């Protein structure tokens, strides 16, 4: 082999290594922002349960639920690498950016799924581990592989996967099931569609380009605005009703009344607008509704947490 060909191959290697992934790129595969929601809601589910948990076991439970959530994120990125490349919002992700190979994401996702399920079962109970395994299966197979590209109700069904963590947290603490964790599940489940449909309204070309059958694409933008309002009304009824359950209380009720009034107002504004109004102010109402939705969920779960933390002192709850 000549010196020239050796130099050429070294140069090629150097260029390909320029894109070599850093630790942060692998971490990004776990969707840290989604993971923070998982951590918070699982933590609330664990603490709202009427059973004391040793801090180390509680920490392990939340950690392994979060790792399970991250693993499903990596598997989602592996499967969706083709559409992530097309959408503006996702083309900076590690696989479309060329930092991480799709196969690496698959391996990482599978390894972390196994680790999280086994460790959660060992740290808490087998029921919690099995439920985490089901959640990963639901998000990756039912939502990502099957329904996301098949039905405009993808977000509604996919929302279920994101809503399971407080239920797993509760089961990790108690080993049993009851109504209260399912109320927390329902809260996230009903919140997800208006949250994502608002996003779809102002990120419109993204889903069109990727061919994902979002409601905005299949049923039109008017229908999406109607759906946002209907889901928000149902969500408000559920959220305020939860105040009178075992996980609610006066603090939660106050938060729920204020936040749902604001959320309903936002949904009403979106409903009243047409495309011309939205284009004029660059989707101001839709954007602020999306931002409010983040605060909405955080404050509802925060209020459930406060009620749970006050209970040992004779406060909290009714």
| Closest distance to other proteins from the beta carbon of 119 (Å) | 8
Q: Give contact residues for other proteins (rule: CB under 8 A).
A: 17-18, 20-23, 26, 54, 56-57, 60, 63, 122-123
Looking at beta carbons only, is 18 or 276 nearer to other proteins? Answer: 18
| Closest distance to other proteins from the beta carbon of 25 (Å) | 9
Full DSSP string of the chain: --HHHHHHHHHHHHHHHHT---HHHHHHTT-HHHHHHHHHHHHHHHHHSSS---HHHHHHHHHHHHHHHHHHHHHHHHHTHHHHTT-TTTTTSTTTTTSS-HHHHHHHHHHHHHHHHHHHHHHT-HHHHHHHHHHHHIIIIIIIIIITTT-TTHHHHHHHHHH-HHHHHHHHHHSS--HHHHHHHHHHHHHHHHHHHHHHHHSHHHHHHHT---HHHHT-HHHHHHHHHHHHHHHHHHHHHHTTSTT--HHHHHHHHHHHHHHHHHHHHHHH--HHHHHHTTSHHHHHHHHHHHHHHHHHHHHHHHHHHHGGGT-S--
Looking at beta carbons only, is 122 or 265 nearer to other proteins? Answer: 122
| Closest distance to other proteins from the beta carbon of 21 (Å) | 7
Looking at beta carbons only, is 3 or 20 nearer to other proteins? Answer: 20
Looking at beta carbons only, is 21 or 262 nearer to other proteins? Answer: 21
Looking at beta carbons only, is 93 or 300 nearer to other proteins? Answer: 93
| Closest distance to other proteins from the beta carbon of 16 (Å) | 10
Looking at beta carbons only, is 3 or 18 nearer to other proteins? Answer: 18
Q: In terms of Cα–Cα distance, which of 245, 283, 243 is closest to 260?
A: 243
| Closest distance to other proteins from the beta carbon of 10 (Å) | 13
Looking at beta carbons only, is 27 or 134 nearer to other proteins? Answer: 27
């Amino acid at each position: 082999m000549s010196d020239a060909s050796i130099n050429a191959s070294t140069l090629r290697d150097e260029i390909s290594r320029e894109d070599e992934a850093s630790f942060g790129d692998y971490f990004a595969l776990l969707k840290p922002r989604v993971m923070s929601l998982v951590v918070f809601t699982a933590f609330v589910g664990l603490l709202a349960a009427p059973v004391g948990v040793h801090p180390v076991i509680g920490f392990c439970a939340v950690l392994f639920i979060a790792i399970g959530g991250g693993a499903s994120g990596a598997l989602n990125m592996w499967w969706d690498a083709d559409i992530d490349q097309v959408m503006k919002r996702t083309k900076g992700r590690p696989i479309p950016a060329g930092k991480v190979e799709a196969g690496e994401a698959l391996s990482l996702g599978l390894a972390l799924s196994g680790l999280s399920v086994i460790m959660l079962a060992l740290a808490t109970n087998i029921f919690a581990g099995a439920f985490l395994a089901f959640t990963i299966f639901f998000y990756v197979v039912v939502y990502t592989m099957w329904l996301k590209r098949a039905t405009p109700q993808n977000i509604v069904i996919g929302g279920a996967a994101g809503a399971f963590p407080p239920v797993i947290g509760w089961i990790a603490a108690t080993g049993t099931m009851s109504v209260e964790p399912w109320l927390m599940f329902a809260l996230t489940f009903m919140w997800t569609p208006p949250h994502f449909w608002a996003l779809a309204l102002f990120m419109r070309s993204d889903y069109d380009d990727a061919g994902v059958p979002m409601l905005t694409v299949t049923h039109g933008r008017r229908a999406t605005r109607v759906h946002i309002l209907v889901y928000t009304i149902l969500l408000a009824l559920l959220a305020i009703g939860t105040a009178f359950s075992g996980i609610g209380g006066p603090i939660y009720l106050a938060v729920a009344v204020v936040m749902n009034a604001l959320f309903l107002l936002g949904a009403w504004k979106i409903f009243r607008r047409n495309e011309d109004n939205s284009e004029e102010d660059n989707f101001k109402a839709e954007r602020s509704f999306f931002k409010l939705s983040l605060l909405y969920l955080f404050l509802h779960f925060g209020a459930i947490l406060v009620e749970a933390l006050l209970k040992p002192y004779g406060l909290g709850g009714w």
